[in-house]
Amino acid sequence: MAASGIVLVGFLFAHAAGNLKIFIGNEDFDHYAHWLRTIGTPLLPDVWFLWIMRIGLLVAIFAHIWSATVLTVRAKKARPVKYAHRPKVQGSYAARTMRWGGVIVLLFIIYHILDLTTGTLNPVGDSSRPHANVIADFAPERWYVTLFYAVSVIAVGLHLRHGIFSAARTLGQQTAKGQRRAQAIALVLSVILVVAYLSVPFAVTVGLVK
Ligand code: HEM
């Protein structure tokens, strides 16, 4: 879980940084999207790097879901009889929502790819003009799309907050002091990521980016 999660967190930060380019200018954003398709050339043919990255991401997502399933089955086997009394509050809200949170994030990714990668659900849907797709997507009259993205990004943030903390534990963090530090780092990284992601749809909806 930890190794595949770290790959996905790496992607999330790189993707957030790329999205923020929209504040520099629409052409810069399109130029960046075009560059994504030409990384590695002329050593590799066009879009090869992009496809290598996509396959890497798919493998990481598959490994992450597979590990989650194995752990769930193992936990159920370890405790086949339900607790007679189970205290309601166990760990943070993020910790208690990891499984369903993960499912919501997965559904969001499927919608998001159909929206901004293939353009199927986007009012413009032109892959050569990603900035036009983003502007049309989060236009003021489509406030409900912005709201849906906001809820999904917050779900990503909650998932990440507990995920980063758990990864630190898996990778050997043991002490009480280390636990507090890991919790603080996980919170700060998740908040940075959520704010970076939310800034783009909101800036378009309120007309800051046109
Ligand atoms: C909320 C703000 C977000 C915006 C404005 C945004 C924007 C975009 C755009 C424009 C693309 C298409 C890039 C291209 O084809 O040139 C894209 C692709 C993608 N985004 Fe996002 N994104 C956001 C959030 C997220 C989040 C939270 C995730 C993950 C949980 C995510 C995962 C992906 C993935 C997996 C792709 C496909 C990459 C590919 O294979 O081409 N995005 N995004």
Q: Chain-centre distance of CA 191, in angstroms?
A: 13
pLDDT given at position 197: 98
Cα of 56 from ligand 1 centre, angstroms: 15
> Which residues surround ligand 1 with Cβ inside 6 Å?
12, 15, 19, 33, 36, 54, 105, 109, 112-113, 116-117, 130, 134, 149, 153, 156, 197, 200-201
Per the CB < 8 A criterion, the answer to whether 156 and 98 are in contact is no
Mean pLDDT along residues 14-37: 94
pTM, rounded to two decimals: 0.90
3-state secondary structure of 43: coil
Mean pLDDT along residues 187-191: 97
d(CA 98, CA 95): 6
Q: For residue 11, what are its two tokens?
A: 């992607």
Mean pLDDT along residues 102-124: 95
pLDDT given at position 70: 93
Residues of the chain with pLDDT > 90: what percent?
A: 75
Mean pLDDT along residues 152-169: 92
pLDDT averaged over every residue in the chain:
92
Q: Which ranges of 79-142 does DSSP label H, i.e. alpha helix? A: 93-96, 98-112, 130-137
pLDDT confidence band for 140 (50 / 70 / 90): very high
Cα of 178 from ligand 1 centre, angstroms: 33
pLDDT given at position 86: 64
pLDDT greater than 90 at residue 79: no
Mean pLDDT along residues 36-61: 95
pLDDT greater than 60 at residue 89: no
d(CA 164, CA 2): 8
- Looking at per-residue confidence, does 73 or 134 come out higher? 134
pLDDT given at position 77: 87
Cα of 23 from ligand 1 centre, angstroms: 16
- Looking at per-residue confidence, does 1 or 198 come out higher? 198
Mean pLDDT along residues 85-100: 69
End-to-end CA distance of the chain: 40
